[in-house]
Structure formats: C-alpha cells, structure tokens
Amino acid sequence: MILTIDVGNTTISGGLFDENGKNVLIFRRSTSRDLSSDEAGLFFRNVIELNGFDYTSIKKIACCSVVPSLNYSLASAFKKYFNTECLFVQAGIKTGLKLKYSNPKEIGADRIAAAIGASSLYDGKNLIVVDMGTATTIDIITKDKEYLGGAILPGIKMSSSSLASGTAKLPTVEIVKPERSCGTSTVEAIQSGIYFGQLGAVKEITSLFTNDVFNGEKPYLIGTGGFSRLYENEKLFDSIVPELVHIGLKKVLELN
C-alpha cells in the first residue's frame, strides 16, 4: 500500500492507496509546529489501524510540505514507525512537468503535487487548478504538461481571521454560503463579503488566464482543497477532486 501526506499550514491530510492504486482512505489532523516524530508516527499508525487497514503493508510513502520545520520529524516518524524512507516533493525529483517558473525552487510542494495529479487525471487538456486551502492558489498546466505558474491570494479562513484580528469590532464568523448577497447583520455582511469575494476573485483570475494564456480557449477547471466544496453549486469548476494532491503524490512515487 501507499501512504501520501500533505502538510499544510492549517491541516495535515493523509491518503492511503491500495495495491490497485485506488484511494481507500483520506484523513486529517490540525498542523502543529511542535509535532514530534513519536506523536506523528503514532497518529498515522493509529488512524490507519482504526480504519481497518494494516499499516505494516505500507511500502511507499510520499509527502509534500509547506511547513519545512516539520519535515525532519515526519521523516523520522516514517522511518521509525513504518520502516520506510519518505520521498519528499522537492527540487531534483521527477515530476513529469516542465516547470516554466523563474525559480522552480520557490514553487510550493503542494502546488506541484496538485499540478502532477491534475495532469495525470486529465492528460492532453489545458488545465487550471484552484486549491482552496489556507491560501487559495490558482495554477496553470498546459496540455503539453507545462506548469506556467499562476496566482496566490488569501484563502477564505485567512480572510475571515484577518478581519476579526485586524479590527476592533468585527467578529469571527462561521464560514458558510450566505442565503443572500446583501447581509442584514454584521455577521451576514462578513459572510457575504468573504464568500462572494472569493468567488469573484477566482472567476476574474481564471477569466484573465483563459484570455491571456489560452487565447480565449476555455481550459478545464479543477477545484480542490478544503473549501472547494463550498462552491460546488456555483458552476465554477468543471470537477472537484478533493484528493488531487494525494493523487499527485502517488504519481510522484511512480515517476521516482
């Protein structure tokens, strides 16, 4: 079996793939900057066992991390508790993509993994991947497997937290789709601004990419990340693939 780990600023998610390459489990925990190797190893082992799988059958592990301070603990955890060396997405590994970026080392490992996953699922198509996590990243992958870069903007939760922490009177609100665009209370107004503001930003940026990069030819638009499901009824995405990064990590193991 294959274990894939996506370390984000807010959440660590894990994916488990069986011998046939089928994704059989996705699990999550909050990201802790002081996570020890023992805490990590026991957590991964226990959650896999509690879901009815044998952790000793895991022979390959891949990880993408945007929290470098945790990488040593994670590598140690996989070595100690799974007796397996973890492959980290970093400079020098095979990706199957042509990275058309001024400095490829700057690209977030999660962006690379999502791009790999998208190109493996939708081979031969021009793609835009919108990953709605702590930050919202919007990336372009051409049908020739060229990663061209994209845009990064504050994510939904970050926007909400910034309003609450940066003002004296605005509260923290539940992140939901508003019933109407015009909020009739402060809470509703914040929810409207965050939800429709993010929707409008993604629509505008992807429209610019369509015109500027693809000369008006509509690319295939993929949504992923924790908040992408919030927009599943907005006809924003051609498909939503929550496990996209994990599919990319599995592909990385095949390529390397």
Helix-helix angle 109-121:244-255, to 10 degrees:
90
Q: Tens digit of pLDDT for each residue in 187-237? A: 999 999 999 999 999 999 999 999 999 999 999 999 999 899 999 999 999
Taking residues 88-94, report their average pLDDT. 91
Q: Which of 63, 88, 113 is the endpoint of a domain? A: 88
Whole-angstrom Cα distance, residue 65 to residue 137?
Answer: 15
Q: Tens digit of pLDDT for each residue in 228-254? A: 999 999 999 999 999 999 999 999 999
3-37 CB burial, b ≥16 within 10 A, e <16 = bbbbbbeeebbbbbbeeeeebebeeeeebeeebeb
| In a shared domain, residues 80 and 102 | no
| In a shared domain, residues 135 and 237 | yes
pLDDT score for 54: 96
* β-bridge pairing 98-99 and 127-132: unpaired
- How many alpha carbons fall within 13 Å on the CB side of residue 75? 11
pLDDT score for 92: 86
pLDDT score for 46: 96
Q: Which of 198, 62, 212, 214 is nearest to 130 (CA)?
A: 198
What's the chain's average pLDDT? 95
35 part of a folded domain: yes
| In a shared domain, residues 74 and 137 | no
Total domain count for the chain?
Answer: 2
Whether 91 shows a pLDDT value over 90: the answer reads: no
Supply the residues annotated as catalytic.
110
Whole-angstrom Cα distance, residue 3 to residue 48?
Answer: 10
| In a shared domain, residues 218 and 121 | yes
Give residue 54's domain range: 2-88
pLDDT score for 245: 97
pLDDT score for 75: 97
| Spatial contact of 117 and 128, defined as CB atoms under 8 Å apart | no
The alpha carbon of 201 is separated from its chain's Cα centroid by a whole number of angstroms, namely 18
Whether 5 shows a pLDDT value over 90: the answer reads: yes
Taking residues 9-16, report their average pLDDT. 94
255 part of a folded domain: no
pLDDT score for 1: 95
| In a shared domain, residues 102 and 84 | no
| In a shared domain, residues 31 and 124 | no
Q: Tens digit of pLDDT for each residue in 33-69? A: 999 999 999 999 999 999 999 999 999 999 999 999 9
The first and second tokens of residue 147, run together, are 């990663």
| In a shared domain, residues 114 and 190 | yes
Q: Tens digit of pLDDT for each residue in 134-183? A: 899 999 999 999 999 999 999 999 999 999 999 999 999 999 999 999 99
Whole-angstrom Cα distance, residue 250 to residue 256?
Answer: 10
Q: Which of 43, 63, 88 is the endpoint of a domain? A: 88
State whether residue 18 is helix, strand or coil: coil
Kindly report the number of other CB atoms within 10 A of residue 91's CB atom: 11
253 part of a folded domain: no
Identify the CATH number of the domain in which residue 236 sits. Answer: 3.30.420.40
State whether residue 13 is helix, strand or coil: strand
